[in-house]
Structure 1
Amino acid sequence: MLHNALLIGLSTLSFTSAKCFDPSPAFPVPLWEHGSKDLKPAFDRIVTKLQTLAAKEKYDTSSFSIEVTSNTDTLWTHFHTAREHNATRPGDTHVDGESVYRIASITKTFTTLGILYQHAAGNLSLDYPVSAYIADFADSDSSGRIPWKDITLRIMASQLSGIPREMGQADLINELPDPTQVGLPPVGREGLPECYEYDHHSRPCTKTELLDNLKKKAPLFAPNQRSTYSNLNFELLGLVLENVTGLDYSEYMHQSIFSPLNMTSTSLHKPSSDAHAVLPVGQFFWDVDEGIHSPTGAIYSSSSDMSKYLRYILTHYNALATGVNWMMPASWSEGMNSFYGMPWEIFRTDKILGKGNKRPVTFVTKAGGVPDYFSRITLMPEYGLGLTIFIGGANSLLNEIQEIVTVELIRAAEIIIWRDIEATYTGTYTSTNPTLNSSLTLSSSASTGLVLKTFISNATDVFTTLLAEYAGVGHNDDAPWRAQFTPTLLYKNETAQQGEIWRLLVVPERTKEDEESVWAEFCNTDVDPASYAALPINEFVFWRGEGVVEAPAWRVRMKKVADGDGRGGEGGGQEDGDDVLGVDQQPQRTLSWLKRSLQPFSPWRL
């Protein structure tokens, strides 16, 4: 029949050419309530592991500050003070949320945010070349070998410029007492810079020294060809900000970001007092003036201030400038799971949720390091969570703390979220029009998501008609599939944030053949494949306050008449979650849900 042929054609277009397993996001962004006890068991486990870690002798001289924040509130903090301090300059000997660290390359996110503000204000364009804003690069005959007219601000912020990494640091001639002992030839210092690392950090480099040095350098790659880390990108973006605003970089950061966000402990200048300074034994970098390198890594800050910053990002990241979502990948890095954003370092993994659940989780991070100071901020936008780790001391602490906190936190959050999904969404719904024989049943689990189990429309079993053809397989055929909902994070009533809009996707289940197939993971996302009378057939609207689900293309509203069976779908929500994630039982409660706010904001190895 033509009807079936059309459906099969749609199926072939959407599903035969690619399989899209485990759509993400699988739930709306949760609002973790201040003072909530739901995550406390996870935080208790984290504390126990951190105390064991910090007790190691090799960390006697290390201090750290850790905070987890939601979109609205700091949820948890943990601080550790080094057991050994400098005898003559101990600094802060009781680390807390106001203790200040050098945060190194996290500074790059502030520089990029400043660029986005100026782009939104119309004072510059992300897609104009840097030569439009730095006069020294405007004349191609005198600007050196790097093609500055082909390097846009967006490319620079995304680590895609192809320019070298450094100008005044990371030169082994400054780090090795005798380079010849490692096989390097003896060389002189003629023609080398005479500032910053080349001058024992006693004098910062100037703008003139930076630009003159860059004119001598050759590119690593052509612009936009391949990503590679470069501090020079952000030193130049800092100059762009100064040229566009007429303000010193430090003053611009204070006026546009630090002050509006009430980041009272954050500065580009060394604090006047050591009272809150974290000063590891033997450190020297606390006092170093980074000069022209400041936009790439000079900020001083506290974990309390950084939580304020992360809350701002979590609620504004997609509304900073028209057409810009600065946490989306701009290019891939090495391997399968690592990407560069603007200027984020993005990690995406399907290993964290545990056995039986391969839904990917995205971590949007930025790390930084200068001698004796190591840091990372991590945004988990699907979960509405942000993590700050500041360390004064041993570098090896950073990855160990990151692993402990993120794994425990995400696994615990998953259980809480899916218990709420089960309590809020699952069950049987029937038409509010008694003359219609229409109903549906929803179930949920962490491994399957929110799933449509049955759907009767006008006395017709949609699973055996439209959905079976749409999937290209029979409901109980050898090619298993499920009908899973994914939230759009939009509302029918955006002002009141009511009427959550979800899309129903036909999702293939992984088979043994899929695990062995090279191309099985190839996926082209398509959440709007077909409509009926100009309305999307897979749009469903949840009016949670009324217990109603609306299917616009099916011209039906259905009201919840019964909860689910308490098992949360196949395998059960609570039982499945605890078995898969391996974390303790936690008290049941209903989360509030929060869509990402789109309200604009009123005005050594970094």
Structure 2
Amino acid sequence: MISSKYKLLAAVVAFAGIQVHAACEPEISFPAPEYNNTTLDHVFKIIDGNLNTAIAAGDFDGTSFSLEISSSRKTMHTKYHFDESLGGSPINESSIYRIASNTKVFTALGIIRLEAAGKLSLDDEVTDYIPKLLDGAGKISWKGITIRSLLSHSSGIPDNCEFLSFLNINLSPGTDFLFGQDGDEDLALLLPDPSVVGLPPLTEPQSKQLPKCGAYTDYKVPCTADDFVNGLHQLTPVFAPQKESSYSNVGFDLLGQVISNVSRIRYEDYITKTIINPLGLHNTSFDVPDSLSAASAGPNSDWGHDAGAGNPGGGLYSSSSDMIKFLRWILSNYKHLSPTLNWLQPAAWNTGSHSLLGYPWEIFRTTDILPNTKRPVTFYTKGGGLTGYYSYSIIIPQYNIVLFMAVAGDLTTLNTIFTQILNPLVIAAEAEAMSQLKDTYAGVYESAKKSLNSSITLTQTDPRALHITSWISNSTDVLASLIPLVAAKAGTSGDMYLQLQPTFEKKHRDGLVGEVWRFINVIDDYDFPTNATTVWNDYCVSNVDPLSYGTVPLNEAVFWRKSTGSNSPVTDVTLSAFRFDLKRK
């Protein structure tokens, strides 16, 4: 027979199963902050100052740009720069750029909407919708290549069909490249003399086999869907399907054909009808806009080149005001577009220890931006470029921020630009989030019953977010009893604390709405190294529901406020497993 004392110890030790080291602080530690008209004005002055310094130093010579920053509600800041040497009209919110691979975000949304409508499954094979891929004797084995694998760049198929390859440039912050800036991947088009890199000249029969459209005609003859599919039979796979990730424009061009075949209208018409027009994106189109509205990139750009069958991978034109509106809509709706998919989730590994791929996001996660904590910050980005045009979409859900930047002309130092914009922006947003967390939730909560000695103190600090600093339950000091046992079992001499994190689940009672949070153990052991190397400090397993008491989660806390709006003050907290409410003093 097991003693009650042993059972209690076992339960407490089991609770240690959700402990995390300080290097594993939960990313979602607070509801995303809201901003008024002036909240971030101080950081926007810093960003403008950084950009003006770069402009004065010549970093933007031969370059025009548009920059817009927004919350989920409204645009908070804009910055435009016009280089007169490029010609054209001065830059404003309506100036139109080629957004290149940012078109893939529209294509992905088109697929997700068809999936949500029950018209297809992400796990269907692409040949279910493009059976012509099975014709011929190509080298790619199409079995196992699913719509999901095309969305996440894990299909193993090549990046480009060469005749569509002016769409090949994929730019994310930190990208370096030598080839592709002029827009064509086939060196037969780029090199007047292939022998300069040791390549033999093409024979006459080999030259005759080259495509008769797209880049091979200087884009005078757009490639059709049939040209595209026939060209795929000449390609060699990079990997077997679902084995590794490798960026692929071809994959998104195929998704465009899937959209067309399922919807039974042209891909361009579907995107226009279901996304561009409903969202009021008046400057966004696959058609070449009037040159007066163009953000000029000079005479040798890809403005006006008809992508043809390559439109789904990078054919759109748009303005910064349209794109920030589109990103704002995504930030507000990404969780609810499909019952089977959270759009802002990783789907495959990318190169680098902090980089992943989504649908079609290029995701970067770092613990090196925030000055007082190792809490990670995740950027969901999409970059794209054509000759003369570069564009960047960035979504930061935990801070309720989206950013769009488009560049025309010369490529500038991207790492420097993003450091000067994103680092101060994130640090300022973190400070605002911490301030709102303190005002809304921190404080002392006590039992309304004088006979019940129960209370909890929730404290906000920058390193620890919202955490428990005092907890009395019916005269028992819960922290004094719980934490030493958990720390001893964990084998750590570090400082342990209980941090709260929101789940975004809701409860309702008596005209009140309850926000469900969970508290987890975090071990602040930076100054207390164990026999393990610090490399393993980033080894983190998420489990926020380890124990219950009478079927109720032991670590659940519910904050109550009036249901009249999210800005109403928190008045009570329920510690669910302890079966009592505490009122905020």
TM-score between both structures, scaled by the size of structure 1: 0.87
Tell me the residue number matched to 1:533.
550
How far apart in 1 are the matches of 2:456 and 2:304?
65
Correspondence for 2:326 among 304, 309, 313: 309
1:423 corresponds to which letter in structure 2? D
CA deviation map 1:464-491 (0-9, x unaligned) = 223443455599x723211101111222
Question: Which residue is equivalent to 2:99?
Answer: 103
Q: Deviations over 1:195-222 (max 9, x none)?
A: 2112222222111211111112221111
Matching residue of 2:50:
49
Unaligned stretches of 5+ in structure 2? 166-184, 562-568
Distance 2:124 2:487 in 1: 45
Q: Using the alignment, how far apart are the partners of 2:416 and 2:406 within structure 1?
A: 13
Q: Work out whether 1:174 is the aligned partner of 2:189.
A: yes
Contact 1:144-1:217 within 8 A present in 2 as well: yes
Q: 1:398 to 1:520 in 2, by over 3 A?
A: closer
Mapped contact 2:283–2:319 kept (Cα < 8 A): yes
Alpha-carbon distance, 1:254 to partner: 0.6
Distance 2:455 2:354 in 1: 41
Quote the sequence identity (%): 38
Q: Which residue of 1 aligns with 2:281?
A: 263
1:233 Cα deviation after fit: 0.2
Partner AA of 2:66 in structure 1 = S
Q: Distance in 1 between matches of 2:337 and 2:484?
A: 42
Equivalent in the alignment of 1:517: 534
- What residue in structure 1 maps to residue 119 of structure 2? 123
Change over 3 Å in CA distance of 1:494–1:30 after alignment to 2: farther
Give the residue type in structure 2 aligned to 1:55: A
TM-score (norm 2): 0.90
Amino acid at match of 1:490: E
Higher mean C-alpha deviation, range 69-78 or range 422-431: 422-431
- Contact 2:94–2:320 (Cα < 8 Å) also in 1: yes
| 3-state SS, counterpart of residue 573 of structure 2 | strand
Q: Is the contact made by 1:67 and 1:389 (CA closer than 8 Å) also made in structure 2?
A: yes
Task: Check conservation: 1:64, 1:95, Cα contact below 8 A.
Answer: yes
Secondary structure of 1:408's partner? Answer: helix
The residue number in structure 2 matching 1:203 is 221
Cα distance change, pair 13–488 in 1 and its aligned pair in 2 (3 A): closer
Matches within 5 A, 1:158-169: 158-167=152-161, 168=163, 169=165
- Which amino acid in the other structure matches residue 485 of structure 1? L
Match 1:91 to one of 82, 88, 92: 88
The offset of 1:350, in angstroms, is: 0.4
8 Å CA contact 1:4–1:469 kept in 2: the answer is: no
| CA distance in structure 1 between the partners assigned to 2:387 and 2:509 by the alignment | 48
Deviation at 1:138, TM superposition (A): 4.3
State the partner residue of 1:552: 576
Q: Distance in 2 between matches of 1:317 and 1:329?
A: 13
2:69 equivalent in structure 1: 68
Residues 258-407 of structure 1: pairs in structure 2 closer than 5 A: 258-271=276-289, 273-354=290-371, 356-407=372-423
1:342-491 → structure 2 map (5 Å cutoff): 342-354=359-371, 356-472=372-488, 478-491=493-506
Structure 2: distance between partners of 1:486 and 1:504: 6
Number of aligned residue pairs: 548
Residue pair 1:330, 1:340 contacting (<8 A) in 2 also: yes
* Unpaired runs of at least 5, structure 1: 562-606
Q: Which whole-Å CA distance do the structure 2 matches of 1:23 and 1:410 have between them?
A: 17
Could you say if the C-alpha distance between residues 497 and 323 of structure 1 is closer, same or farther in structure 2, counting changes exceeding 3 Å?
A: farther
3-state DSSP class of the match of 2:273? Answer: helix
Q: How does 1:566-605 map to 2 (within 5 A)?
A: none
Q: Deviations over 1:495-535 (max 9, x none)?
A: 99932211100111133426933323211100001111111
RMSD: 2.1
Query: In the aligned structure 1, how far is the partner of 2:29 from the partner of 2:19?
Result: 19
**Which residue identity does 1:555 align to in structure 2?**
R
Residue 198 of structure 1: SS of its match in structure 2?
helix
DSSP-derived class of the 1:466 partner: helix
Aligned position for 1:589: none
* 1:20/1:525 contact within 8 Å kept: no
Partner of 2:112, secondary structure, is: helix
**Whole-angstrom CA distance in 1 between matches of 2:545 and 2:250:** 42
SS at 2:291's partner residue? coil
CA apart distance, 1:143: 5.4
- Are the aligned partners of 2:362 and 2:382 in contact in 1 as well (CA < 8 Å)? yes
- Provide Cα deviations, 1:418-466, integer angstroms capped at 9, x if missing partner: 1222222222110122221100111112211111001001110111223
User: Would the aligned equivalents of 1:491 and 1:497 in 2 still touch at CA under 8 Å?
Assistant: no
Note if contact 2:22-2:524 (Cα within 8 Å) is conserved in structure 1: no
Name 1:150's counterpart in structure 2: 144
Task: Check conservation: 1:60, 1:83, Cα contact below 8 A.
Answer: no
Give the drift of 1:12: 5.8
Tell whether the 8 Å contact from 1:64 to 1:390 is kept in structure 2 after alignment.
yes
Determine if contact 1:468/1:474 at 8 Å carries over to the other structure: no
- Deviation, 1:331, is 0.9
Larger deviation, residues 237-246 vs 410-419: 410-419
Q: List per-residue Cα deviations over 1:225-260 (Å, max 9, x = no partner).
A: 011001000000000011011111111111000001
Aligned counterpart, 1:252? 270
